[in-house]
Amino acid sequence: MIQAHAIAPNGLSDGWRNTPKHLKKHLILFFTDVFFLFVITDFAHDAGLVHSMPLMKRYEKFAADISEMIRSGVLPAGEKVPSVRVASRTWSVSPATVFKAYYLLEDKGLIQARARSGYYVREHAANALTEPELIRHSSEGTELGVSDLIFSVLGSLKDPDTVPFGSAFPSPHLYPLASLAKSMASAVRALTPAGIVSDMTTGNPELRRQIALRYMISGVRLPADELVITNGAMEALNLCLQCVTEPGDLVAIEAPAFYACLQVLERLKLKAVEIPVHPRDGVDLDSLQDSLTRLPIKACWFMSSFQNPLGASMTQENRTRLYDLLEQHQIPLIEDDVYAELYYGAKAPHPVKSLDRSGLVMHCSSFSKTLAPGYRVGWVAGGRYTEQIDRLKLMTTLSPSVPAQAALADYLKHGGYDRHLRKLRDTLELQQGAMLAAAARYFPAATRVTRPVGGYFLWFEFPEQVDSLQLFQLALAQGISLAPGPIFSASRRFKNCARLNYGTPWDERSEQAMAMLGRILASF
């Protein structure tokens, strides 16, 4: 590692003493920043991160800016994008950079070239179907009983011939299975008996260090000694909830919410306080504030980035307001952040955990959605609850797979995780555009749909006469699965809604499945 040396030798001490105070201050800050940069770079190099975390190229950054303008409606469908000359001057980039960015956006299906006229936003790129609106509703504390319905939906995914629009995972064909296999073989050869035993506590030390480094390089300080490795994010979320609640307690959750959240509350005999979620901006903080004031809520379980099933992502302003609100009431936040790496913009949003001043946030994530679902390796940064979480894990499951942890540590250090993520994000963004275009072609005109900037789910709100449970049965009879709205609600709301997964490579089979869904919807 780099060693610290005195910046100024003795021969310069007289000059230093004669330097004005205001200039000394700026020099100290400058050299401190330089030293910190060298330390971070050297630390990352030792950990194998320098080669595995490539910087976004200038044309990719410019393309991400234009993409965000399209998604936010600044550049609506049919609008001409800035000419090469205007874009070059406005963004201070070369014409070659603009051309490369526009070729990339064209490949993603966001813009199209018109002869002798320039580039325009494609009609489907800005979403021909409108977005759903926020619907506020009250929930004082609902007892759960949704597991039977959820299991019936999950059972439909066992048939490999079924189109998996109802799946909770992207296609396994999108994962770097060959590279993971090499890392597994290498890790198993290197395992020692002592290492196997020592890793059965908080987790593999190298894996925890690699995870902490990834957070650090993205601008989030998350010490490795606060991380507890778990059997996927679901175990992490379960442990967090058990640490801060008892049977009968009220827990604030999203509406709609990830159905596994409802199952956990049901198993632990907890009551759900449903907080509405805005399709674009996430948890409705006014509703949350009202519920916190009126009800004895013991914990909140929220997704701040690319929420399942809506795909909503909170703004940084709302993340700050959420944390301040919970800190004021001293309510712990269980932050489910498993989709954060699947962003389509220039960088990942910072988790609410990055704002945590008092250890109230239990931040949970995993590799299941981005890299290796079958490895079942997740983690939690537990804040003030870290020791409780670790002890509870030791009393229940003890440890995730030691070889799987070692394999992931090896892959993170040598396997090009960020290159894989970049390819995965590009693929998912393309597939989202394909599903949106198909929905605009085949679904009823009154259909509403979200347009998330990350993840791999679309949330559809169909005309009121559509019963999504009946739609599920009719679609399944045609070999198509989907996730009906009621499985995402403690009170079985959202009967005319459904979640569709666009994480499967788009092909003629996918297109035909969307056309079939359109015909079924037209029959209601």
Tokens 């799987």 -> residue:
404
Per-residue confidence (pLDDT) for residue 170, from 0 to 100: 93
Q: Which of 38-52, 75-89, 138-152 has the highest mean pLDDT?
A: 75-89
pLDDT tens digits for range 275-311: 999 999 999 999 999 999 999 999 999 999 999 999 9
Tokens 């976004």 -> residue:
56
Q: What is the pTM of this model?
A: 0.79
**Confidence tier at 6 by pLDDT (50, 70, 90):** very low
Joined tokens for residue 27: 């020099």
- Spatial distance between the Cα atoms of 129 and 450, rounded to a whole number of angstroms: 9
Cα-based torsion angle of the residue sequence 240, 243, 247, 252 in order, rounded to the nearest 10 degrees: -40
In angstroms, what CA-CA distances link 396 with 249, 266, 377?
A: 22, 19, 16
- Asked if 279 and 256 count as a contact pair (C-beta separation under 8 A), the reply is no
The SS3 assignment for 110 reads coil
Average pLDDT over the chain, rounded to an integer: 85
Q: Is the pLDDT confidence value at 399 over 70? A: yes
Per-residue confidence (pLDDT) for residue 140, from 0 to 100: 67
CATH class of the 58-121 domain in this structure: mainly alpha
Burial (CB count within 10 angstroms: exposed 0-12, middle 13-18, buried 19+), residue 460: buried
Per-residue confidence (pLDDT) for residue 1, from 0 to 100: 38
Sheet containing 483-484: order of strands: 448-449, 457-461, 497-501, 483-484
- Spatial distance between the Cα atoms of 486 and 146, rounded to a whole number of angstroms: 9
Mean pLDDT over 100-120 rounds to: 83
Joined tokens for residue 297: 């809520």
Q: Which of 228, 233, 191 is nearest to 402 (CA)?
A: 191
- Asked if 318 and 468 count as a contact pair (C-beta separation under 8 A), the reply is no
Triad 364, 390, 393: Cα angle to 5°: 85
Contacts of 26 (CB under 8 A, 6+ apart): none
Q: How does DSSP assign 455-508, residue by residue? A: SSEEEEE--TT--HHHHHHHHHHTTEE-EEGGGG-TT---TTEEEEE--SPP-H
- Spatial distance between the Cα atoms of 339 and 352, rounded to a whole number of angstroms: 14
pLDDT tens digits for range 50-88: 444 455 688 888 888 888 888 777 888 788 999 888 888
How far is the first Cα of the chain from the last one, in angstroms, to the nearest whole number? 67
CATH class of the 219-396 domain in this structure: alpha beta
Indicate the domain borders of the chain: 10-46, 58-121, 219-396
Strand 163-164 with 480-481, pairing:
parallel
Contacts of 150 (CB under 8 A, 6+ apart): 259, 262, 263, 487
